[in-house]
Structure 1
Amino acid sequence: MICPNCGSNNPDGTAFCANCGSPVSNGAPNNGAIPPQAQPNFQGSAPNGGMTPPPVFNGNPFPGGHIEQRNIALCIILSIITCGIYGLYWIYKLTEDVNTLKGDPNATSGGVVILLGIITCGIYMWYWLYKQGDNLDQIKASRGLPAGNSGILYLILAIVGLSIVSYALMQNELNQLA
Protein backbone atom coordinates (compact mmCIF):
# COMPACT_ATOMS: atom_id res chain seq x y z
CA MET A 1 0.00 0.00 0.00
CA ILE A 2 1.24 3.46 -0.93
CA CYS A 3 0.94 6.19 1.71
CA PRO A 4 -1.06 9.14 0.36
CA ASN A 5 0.95 11.54 2.56
CA CYS A 6 4.59 10.61 2.00
CA GLY A 7 4.43 8.04 -0.81
CA SER A 8 6.27 5.27 1.05
CA ASN A 9 5.39 1.64 0.42
CA ASN A 10 3.68 -0.17 3.34
CA PRO A 11 2.63 -3.84 3.74
CA ASP A 12 -0.97 -4.64 2.89
CA GLY A 13 -3.42 -4.41 5.80
CA THR A 14 -1.57 -1.71 7.72
CA ALA A 15 -3.70 1.08 9.10
CA PHE A 16 -0.94 3.67 9.42
CA CYS A 17 2.17 4.52 7.47
CA ALA A 18 5.36 3.12 9.02
CA ASN A 19 7.30 6.16 7.79
CA CYS A 20 5.14 9.19 8.69
CA GLY A 21 2.34 7.70 10.85
CA SER A 22 -0.53 9.11 8.79
CA PRO A 23 -3.57 6.88 8.12
CA VAL A 24 -3.35 4.66 5.08
CA SER A 25 -6.85 4.35 3.67
CA ASN A 26 -7.47 0.85 2.43
CA GLY A 27 -11.18 0.83 3.12
CA ALA A 28 -10.69 -1.42 6.17
CA PRO A 29 -11.44 -0.10 9.67
CA ASN A 30 -8.42 0.45 11.88
CA ASN A 31 -10.07 -1.29 14.85
CA GLY A 32 -9.13 1.54 17.20
CA ALA A 33 -5.44 1.29 16.37
CA ILE A 34 -3.33 4.25 17.36
CA PRO A 35 -0.73 5.49 14.89
CA PRO A 36 2.89 5.08 15.90
CA GLN A 37 4.30 8.27 17.34
CA ALA A 38 7.16 9.82 15.47
CA GLN A 39 10.12 9.94 17.82
CA PRO A 40 11.80 13.34 17.88
CA ASN A 41 15.57 13.47 17.65
CA PHE A 42 16.62 14.99 20.99
CA GLN A 43 20.17 16.08 21.66
CA GLY A 44 22.03 14.29 24.45
CA SER A 45 21.76 10.70 25.47
CA ALA A 46 20.47 8.75 28.43
CA PRO A 47 22.68 6.30 30.33
CA ASN A 48 21.10 3.39 28.45
CA GLY A 49 22.01 4.92 25.09
CA GLY A 50 18.49 6.19 24.36
CA MET A 51 17.64 9.79 23.73
CA THR A 52 16.16 11.92 26.52
CA PRO A 53 13.41 14.49 25.95
CA PRO A 54 13.73 18.06 27.21
CA PRO A 55 12.25 18.84 30.65
CA VAL A 56 8.59 19.81 30.89
CA PHE A 57 7.70 22.61 33.27
CA ASN A 58 3.86 22.38 33.20
CA GLY A 59 3.43 25.90 31.87
CA ASN A 60 5.79 27.38 34.47
CA PRO A 61 9.04 28.56 32.87
CA PHE A 62 10.92 27.61 36.06
CA PRO A 63 11.29 24.17 37.67
CA GLY A 64 9.30 23.39 40.76
CA GLY A 65 5.90 24.67 41.68
CA HIS A 66 4.13 27.46 43.47
CA ILE A 67 5.15 28.51 46.98
CA GLU A 68 3.24 30.55 49.52
CA GLN A 69 4.39 34.03 50.52
CA ARG A 70 4.65 34.54 54.28
CA ASN A 71 4.58 37.65 56.44
CA ILE A 72 8.10 37.87 57.91
CA ALA A 73 7.15 39.98 60.94
CA LEU A 74 4.36 37.56 61.85
CA CYS A 75 6.73 34.58 61.55
CA ILE A 76 9.24 36.27 63.88
CA ILE A 77 6.57 37.23 66.43
CA LEU A 78 5.03 33.75 66.42
CA SER A 79 8.49 32.19 66.82
CA ILE A 80 9.16 34.36 69.88
CA ILE A 81 5.71 33.91 71.44
CA THR A 82 5.80 30.10 71.06
CA CYS A 83 9.36 29.84 72.41
CA GLY A 84 10.68 28.61 69.09
CA ILE A 85 8.04 26.00 68.27
CA TYR A 86 6.71 28.04 65.37
CA GLY A 87 10.34 28.59 64.38
CA LEU A 88 10.68 24.84 63.79
CA TYR A 89 7.61 24.92 61.56
CA TRP A 90 9.06 27.94 59.77
CA ILE A 91 12.32 26.06 59.14
CA TYR A 92 10.29 23.15 57.78
CA LYS A 93 8.40 25.42 55.40
CA LEU A 94 11.56 27.29 54.31
CA THR A 95 13.18 23.97 53.42
CA GLU A 96 10.16 22.70 51.53
CA ASP A 97 9.77 26.00 49.64
CA VAL A 98 13.42 26.02 48.52
CA ASN A 99 13.10 22.36 47.48
CA THR A 100 9.97 23.21 45.50
CA LEU A 101 11.61 26.12 43.70
CA LYS A 102 14.73 24.13 42.98
CA GLY A 103 12.69 21.21 41.66
CA ASP A 104 15.00 18.62 43.24
CA PRO A 105 13.06 15.49 44.25
CA ASN A 106 16.08 14.11 46.16
CA ALA A 107 16.62 17.17 48.35
CA THR A 108 16.60 16.84 52.14
CA SER A 109 13.07 17.29 53.49
CA GLY A 110 12.12 19.78 56.16
CA GLY A 111 11.42 17.05 58.70
CA VAL A 112 14.89 15.57 58.28
CA VAL A 113 16.44 19.04 58.63
CA ILE A 114 14.65 19.59 61.95
CA LEU A 115 15.57 16.10 63.19
CA LEU A 116 19.25 16.54 62.31
CA GLY A 117 19.23 20.01 63.86
CA ILE A 118 17.90 18.61 67.14
CA ILE A 119 20.25 15.61 67.15
CA THR A 120 23.33 17.76 66.52
CA CYS A 121 22.26 20.46 69.02
CA GLY A 122 21.91 23.02 66.24
CA ILE A 123 25.26 22.53 64.52
CA TYR A 124 23.61 20.99 61.45
CA MET A 125 21.52 24.14 61.17
CA TRP A 126 24.66 26.16 60.34
CA TYR A 127 25.35 23.82 57.43
CA TRP A 128 21.66 23.96 56.44
CA LEU A 129 21.66 27.77 56.41
CA TYR A 130 24.77 27.83 54.22
CA LYS A 131 23.27 25.29 51.77
CA GLN A 132 19.92 27.10 51.65
CA GLY A 133 21.68 30.34 50.77
CA ASP A 134 23.64 28.53 48.08
CA ASN A 135 20.43 26.94 46.74
CA LEU A 136 18.67 30.32 46.65
CA ASP A 137 21.62 31.81 44.78
CA GLN A 138 21.40 28.98 42.22
CA ILE A 139 17.66 29.53 41.79
CA LYS A 140 18.17 33.26 41.27
CA ALA A 141 20.98 32.65 38.78
CA SER A 142 18.83 30.20 36.82
CA ARG A 143 16.18 32.92 36.52
CA GLY A 144 18.67 35.50 35.35
CA LEU A 145 18.58 37.45 38.63
CA PRO A 146 21.72 38.73 40.34
CA ALA A 147 22.94 36.26 42.96
CA GLY A 148 25.38 36.95 45.76
CA ASN A 149 26.83 34.86 48.55
CA SER A 150 23.71 34.43 50.65
CA GLY A 151 24.98 31.20 52.21
CA ILE A 152 27.96 32.92 53.78
CA LEU A 153 25.77 35.74 55.12
CA TYR A 154 23.28 33.28 56.63
CA LEU A 155 26.12 31.29 58.20
CA ILE A 156 27.80 34.33 59.75
CA LEU A 157 24.49 35.57 61.17
CA ALA A 158 23.85 32.14 62.71
CA ILE A 159 27.33 31.93 64.24
CA VAL A 160 26.82 35.26 66.02
CA GLY A 161 23.43 34.13 67.31
CA LEU A 162 21.12 35.80 64.79
CA SER A 163 19.69 32.74 63.07
CA ILE A 164 16.21 34.25 63.07
CA VAL A 165 17.55 37.12 60.94
CA SER A 166 18.85 34.51 58.48
CA TYR A 167 15.37 32.94 58.39
CA ALA A 168 13.83 36.36 57.76
CA LEU A 169 16.27 37.11 54.93
CA MET A 170 15.63 33.68 53.44
CA GLN A 171 11.87 34.23 53.63
CA ASN A 172 12.29 37.61 51.95
CA GLU A 173 14.17 35.95 49.06
CA LEU A 174 11.47 33.27 48.78
CA ASN A 175 8.71 35.89 48.78
CA GLN A 176 10.45 37.66 45.90
CA LEU A 177 10.87 34.41 43.95
CA ALA A 178 7.28 33.24 44.51
Structure 2
Amino acid sequence: MTDSTLAPVDVVKRRNPLLVWLIWPLITLGIYNLVWYYKIHREMRDLTRDPQAPVAGPMLVILLLGWTVIGPLISYFRTGHRIRQAQMAATGQATCNPWVGLILCFVFGLQIIYYQLELNKIAV
Protein backbone atom coordinates (compact mmCIF):
# COMPACT_ATOMS: atom_id res chain seq x y z
CA MET A 1 0.00 0.00 0.00
CA THR A 2 1.15 3.50 -0.65
CA ASP A 3 1.23 6.07 2.13
CA SER A 4 -1.88 7.83 0.81
CA THR A 5 -4.02 4.69 0.97
CA LEU A 6 -3.19 3.51 4.47
CA ALA A 7 -6.20 2.46 6.47
CA PRO A 8 -6.31 3.28 10.21
CA VAL A 9 -5.71 -0.37 11.05
CA ASP A 10 -2.48 -0.19 9.02
CA VAL A 11 -1.20 2.88 10.86
CA VAL A 12 -2.27 2.45 14.48
CA LYS A 13 -1.13 -0.79 16.07
CA ARG A 14 -3.44 -2.69 18.39
CA ARG A 15 -1.71 -3.38 21.71
CA ASN A 16 -2.75 -5.16 24.88
CA PRO A 17 -3.28 -2.37 27.47
CA LEU A 18 -2.21 -4.52 30.41
CA LEU A 19 1.04 -5.48 28.69
CA VAL A 20 1.73 -1.84 27.81
CA TRP A 21 0.96 -0.60 31.32
CA LEU A 22 2.55 -3.24 33.54
CA ILE A 23 4.29 -6.23 31.99
CA TRP A 24 6.62 -4.67 29.38
CA PRO A 25 7.68 -1.79 31.68
CA LEU A 26 8.53 -4.30 34.44
CA ILE A 27 10.58 -6.44 32.06
CA THR A 28 12.44 -3.44 30.57
CA LEU A 29 12.79 -1.52 33.85
CA GLY A 30 10.51 1.28 32.64
CA ILE A 31 12.14 1.90 29.27
CA TYR A 32 9.15 0.49 27.37
CA ASN A 33 6.97 3.38 28.59
CA LEU A 34 9.17 5.78 26.63
CA VAL A 35 9.17 3.52 23.58
CA TRP A 36 5.37 3.20 23.72
CA TYR A 37 4.94 6.96 24.10
CA TYR A 38 7.14 7.60 21.07
CA LYS A 39 5.39 4.94 18.98
CA ILE A 40 1.86 6.18 19.65
CA HIS A 41 2.83 9.73 18.72
CA ARG A 42 4.44 8.52 15.50
CA GLU A 43 1.35 6.46 14.66
CA MET A 44 -0.96 9.42 15.32
CA ARG A 45 1.21 11.67 13.14
CA ASP A 46 1.07 9.11 10.34
CA LEU A 47 -2.68 8.71 10.71
CA THR A 48 -3.48 12.43 10.65
CA ARG A 49 -0.75 13.10 8.05
CA ASP A 50 0.22 16.23 10.00
CA PRO A 51 3.93 16.98 9.45
CA GLN A 52 3.86 19.44 12.38
CA ALA A 53 2.64 16.83 14.89
CA PRO A 54 5.23 16.15 17.59
CA VAL A 55 6.76 12.69 17.72
CA ALA A 56 9.94 12.69 19.81
CA GLY A 57 9.13 15.86 21.77
CA PRO A 58 6.49 14.36 24.09
CA MET A 59 8.74 11.40 24.86
CA LEU A 60 11.64 13.75 25.64
CA VAL A 61 9.41 15.73 28.00
CA ILE A 62 8.69 12.56 29.95
CA LEU A 63 12.35 11.53 29.90
CA LEU A 64 14.06 14.85 30.64
CA LEU A 65 11.41 16.84 32.49
CA GLY A 66 9.85 14.06 34.52
CA TRP A 67 11.34 15.57 37.66
CA THR A 68 9.25 18.73 37.19
CA VAL A 69 5.97 16.78 37.48
CA ILE A 70 4.04 19.52 35.65
CA GLY A 71 5.79 18.85 32.30
CA PRO A 72 4.65 15.23 32.05
CA LEU A 73 1.13 16.14 33.17
CA ILE A 74 0.84 18.70 30.37
CA SER A 75 2.31 16.18 27.92
CA TYR A 76 -0.20 13.48 28.90
CA PHE A 77 -3.07 15.98 28.67
CA ARG A 78 -1.99 17.04 25.17
CA THR A 79 -1.64 13.37 24.22
CA GLY A 80 -5.31 12.96 25.08
CA HIS A 81 -6.11 15.77 22.65
CA ARG A 82 -3.98 14.14 19.95
CA ILE A 83 -5.72 10.80 20.45
CA ARG A 84 -9.05 12.60 20.17
CA GLN A 85 -7.93 14.20 16.89
CA ALA A 86 -6.71 10.84 15.59
CA GLN A 87 -10.08 9.28 16.44
CA MET A 88 -11.86 12.04 14.53
CA ALA A 89 -9.55 11.52 11.55
CA ALA A 90 -10.04 7.75 11.57
CA THR A 91 -13.67 7.23 12.54
CA GLY A 92 -15.30 10.65 12.71
CA GLN A 93 -16.17 10.01 16.35
CA ALA A 94 -14.00 11.06 19.30
CA THR A 95 -14.38 9.27 22.62
CA CYS A 96 -11.06 10.09 24.28
CA ASN A 97 -11.29 12.66 27.06
CA PRO A 98 -7.96 14.31 27.97
CA TRP A 99 -9.28 15.22 31.42
CA VAL A 100 -9.91 11.55 32.22
CA GLY A 101 -6.36 10.76 31.12
CA LEU A 102 -4.99 13.55 33.30
CA ILE A 103 -6.89 12.35 36.36
CA LEU A 104 -5.77 8.77 35.76
CA CYS A 105 -2.14 9.97 35.89
CA PHE A 106 -2.64 10.18 39.65
CA VAL A 107 -4.10 6.66 39.94
CA PHE A 108 -1.20 4.24 39.46
CA GLY A 109 -0.41 5.68 36.02
CA LEU A 110 -3.62 4.24 34.58
CA GLN A 111 -3.64 6.88 31.81
CA ILE A 112 -1.54 4.44 29.81
CA ILE A 113 -4.29 1.81 29.89
CA TYR A 114 -6.94 4.42 29.09
CA TYR A 115 -5.03 5.91 26.18
CA GLN A 116 -4.16 2.51 24.74
CA LEU A 117 -7.81 1.42 24.96
CA GLU A 118 -8.77 4.60 23.10
CA LEU A 119 -6.11 3.99 20.46
CA ASN A 120 -7.31 0.40 20.05
CA LYS A 121 -10.69 1.80 18.99
CA ILE A 122 -8.95 3.27 15.94
CA ALA A 123 -7.11 0.05 15.14
CA VAL A 124 -10.31 -2.01 14.95
> Which TM bucket (shorter chain)?
0.7 to 0.9
Deviating beyond 4 angstroms after TM superposition, the runs of 4 or more aligned structure 1 residues are: none
TM-score under structure 1 length normalisation:
0.55
Query: Comparing both chains, which one has the higher relative contact order based on Cα–Cα distances under 8 Å and sequence gaps of 6 or more?
Result: 2
Q: CA deviation at 1:90?
A: 1.2
What is the TM-score of this pair, normalised by structure 2? 0.75
What is the rounded CA distance, in whole Å, between the counterparts of 1:162 and 1:101 in structure 2? 29
- In the TM superposition, what whole-angstrom CA distance separates every residue of 1:33-92 from its partner, at most 9, and x where no partner exists? xxxxxxxxxxxxxxxxxxxxxxxx833577xx6222222222220112322111111111
Q: In proportion to residue count, which structure has more helix?
A: 2
- The corresponding residue for 1:175 is 120
Quick one: percent identity of the two aligned structures?
27
Describe the superposition over 1:5-46 as per-residue Cα deviations: whole angstroms up to 9, x where unpaired: xxxxxxxxxxxxxxxxxxxxxxxxxxxxxxxxxxxxxxxxxx
Max Rg structure: 1
2:73 alignment partner, one of 126, 143, 148: 126
Q: Which amino acid aligns with 2:48?
A: K
Equivalences for residues 11-160 of structure 1 within 5 A: 58-60=4-6, 66-75=11-20, 76-109=22-55, 111-120=56-65, 121=67, 122-142=69-89, 143-145=91-93, 147-148=94-95, 150-158=97-105, 160=106
In structure 2, give the amino acid aligned to 1:66.
Answer: V
Residue 151 and residue 69 in structure 1: after superposition, are their counterparts in 2 closer, same or farther (change >3 A)? same
- 1:166 and 2:111 are equivalent in the alignment: yes
**CA distance in structure 2 between the aligned counterparts of 1:149 and 1:71, rounded to whole angstroms:** 17
The one-letter code of the counterpart of 1:123 is I
Q: Deviations over 1:104-139 (max 9, x none)?
A: 111111x32222223222432211211111122223
Over the residues paired in the alignment, what is the CA RMSD in angstroms? 2.4
